[in-house]
Amino acid sequence: MAEKLPENPDIEPLTRTQVLVAMGVTAIILLVIAKLWLQFGSVSLLPVKWIGRDLLKGCGIGLAITAGSTIVYRLWPGYRRSADVYLEVVLKPLFWPDLIWLGLLPGLSEELLFRGVMLSALGLNVTGLIISSFCFGILHLGGMQQWPYAVWATAVGLLLGYSVLDSGNLLVPIVAHVCTNLISSCVWKWEHKVSKS
């Protein structure tokens, strides 16, 4: 059963339209940054290869991230509070079919920028992995009280980055990210629907 969130006067509730527009605008901005970086930087996009094994690997990593998030959620109260605030703002106003967009838009745009372009530009090495993962974590920082959520996002970024370095295929972190977002948001929606019944 989900615990009741404390009222947070700093965060205004959003409407469904505001959340969907914010997701779309954010995805477009990230895609434009990636495109400009590719156009004007001396960097090439990491490849997306449709390989069944890599598709399954991405699904497995997505499930592992979701399971890890569940464990961290139960063990770390700071993460639980920051995740609940973030998910309450983002997920509460959305309808079930909207969760498809929540999976696809960030999964594609964030992976294209952070793993496909930034990691490649910074170097396909430990330094590039750490810097791109830190930037990915910062993107998920909704305010200073949300730092545990950003720490978790940084850890997820390290795993997603490692998956592309290991496989040489951007498909792996894209599928992992999309799966993570879809599964996590569906579980959250379901638990909060049940807890209100």
User: According to the 3-state scheme, what is the secondary structure of the chain?
Assistant: CCCCCCCCCCCCCCCHHHHHHHHHHHHHHHHHHHHHHHHHCCCCCCCCCCCHHHHHHHHHHHHHHHHHHHHHHHHCHHHHHHHHHHHHHHHCCCCCCHHHHHHHHHHHHHHHHHHHHHHHHHCCCHHHHHHHHHHHHHHCCCCHHHHHHHHHHHHHHHHHHHHHHHHCCCHHHHHHHHHHHHHHHHHHHHHHHHHHC
pLDDT at position 1 is: 36
Mean pLDDT, residues 84-111: 93
- The answer to pTM > 0.85 is yes
Res 4 pLDDT > 50: no
User: pLDDT tens, 142-158?
Assistant: 888 889 999 999 999 99
pLDDT at position 196 is: 55
Q: How far apart are the first and last CA of the chain?
A: 11
Mean pLDDT, residues 69-87: 93
The percent of residues in the chain predicted with pLDDT above 70, rounded, is 92
Query: Where are the chain's structural domains?
Result: 57-196
Averaged pLDDT score across all residues of the chain: 91
User: pLDDT tens, 39-56?
Assistant: 999 899 999 999 999 999
Who has greater pLDDT, 163 or 88? Answer: 163
Which among 169, 165, 111 has a CA at the least distance from the CA of 139? 111
Give pairs for 103-107: CB < 8 Å, separation 24+. Answer: 103/178, 103/179, 103/181, 103/182, 103/185, 104/178, 105/23, 105/24, 105/26, 105/27, 106/23, 106/26, 106/27, 106/177, 106/181, 107/174, 107/175, 107/177, 107/178, 107/180, 107/181
Let me know: does 117 contact 36? Beta carbons within 8 Å: no
